[in-house]
Structure 1
């Protein structure tokens, strides 16, 4: 029997921060996929190579990790004082599911460069040389991101000497400002601390009662102390990802934290919400060897943080979780702040499995409520391939 040929769609494969994803301009997608729904999800899953019961995504662009099973859709923005709308889809590896519940902070670094190169930015706003300011509306969470994109001779500068632990080669620095990063999540009513407390007692069956900081900033995140769950904060991926009991424990913590934060109404709903919330554990500074073999001394960092993403320990740190870390560190009394030594601080350097990262945020308190105007961090981005991605027409 005859089979229909594949269709091809303009796409760009980009590394942003410590993640990789397939980027599309909204107008380039097939008409049925230009709006949210089944057709869009099916297309993106087929592009990435999901669902894959083998867990490898061999027949697609995905890399079989949470950091590489990602898609981005960018369009000109109709919102005042914004240049583009950015929508992020986290594609499940082994299930037929695209999670639209949160942002990817790492790929946020690539949105500005992609938008400039793709002709989505008013040319009057892009200097031939210097820094282009790209105003991004993050459509998943309804927040503004300001990207500072270096330009050289009329083109986005991608090469440079900025080094980012978790990325092998240096590149050009892209500074990101996450404006008013407290996430507006359904059920949380936009509260930075949905429970009203900077630290809560979280009852987790089979684990115990844990001290937890549950925060909506960058991405909803549940922070617990490493020693309370049997860790030191120096762990690398294999120590956790090869331990099925540990993975189940973290998923149980995540489910009960999500319920307490008002992100789900019952525990069964957590299976449909793989991307958010995140679970992270913190510890006082301790020397360790990063995954590259690089030594991180206790004096190099203010605290240690390890974070789970899509059911696995992340190889470095998610950008959105870094925003949560920066925000929580700036607020006295949170577990993140206490692990960093407590007190007032507007920046921290934390150790993660691949090395270290510096992030900053400024917090203010009024009428008992904490607010953060913006969180700041630097990433880099580089186009890996551009052209067309092909998928079967069905």
Structure 2
């Protein structure tokens, strides 16, 4: 997908960050217009509002639907802002584009469904409109790339991605775990694809929007998609994660935007050190795997099982505790040790002439 183009709209400053902001849901015409005027006054050029709102459970507010399209048209007339909304079906695409919506995004639940993605791709064929694809709810990079590919295959070239975090059963500071490594790998795989961060959905709380936005800028994201509402505490959906237009402007003004193209001599030196340490880590891991194979041979000769569950749990806890004392995250070290253990088990199973059990594959 080397022909992907930026989400460029005439008259918008191409420098980072490109900010797309507006309420989670279009609720009333007055709320839509009041929020748009306040955002326009703060310099925001792209206004987002959800017209169709798929909720986790039925019974909640699910959007005003096509009735909100004239409200977005009024936003364009009165403020000069571009407009954006989420689409989840062919009908949504048709109604939004007929209504003059300038940018479409595809939500996390839709991105996880290849059937729905193909329906939307077919509806977009032959159109020229920027499209942003949110990550699926599960941390599945291939599913995310597949969703983007379907839109690209329909002929859409102004194409981007939105990182909104991933659903996790683990308790966390965040509503959706950021798992920054996944969008970083997406950028490596599709370097021309612009990636936007949605700190509202990652954090789930307005006080987390500023630090998450800064993290996104530090990681080189191209822009932000932020939920802003004229009266956030009265919002009909996701009120805890919305900010006022004035609060958003304060957050944006205080972002530190780091230069991506500068490479100093000192940085080159430090990167060389990282490369050397990585080489040493690989050598140490290779040595560890050789010892694992020796252990596998010992177990084979003495008819011992490969997996020693109690030792494995003790190992995880001990190394996680050491990591914390050395200034690293406990869960990071558990993840690293789990990956090393899985490869060690695979090496031992090879020695025993067996296939790894499914949970260790």
TM-score, shorter chain, exceeding 0.5: no
Larger radius of gyration: 2
Which structure has more helix as a fraction of its residues? 2
Which structure has more strand as a fraction of its residues? 1
TM-score by length of 2: 0.29
Q: Which has the higher contact order (CA 8 A, sep 6+)?
A: 1
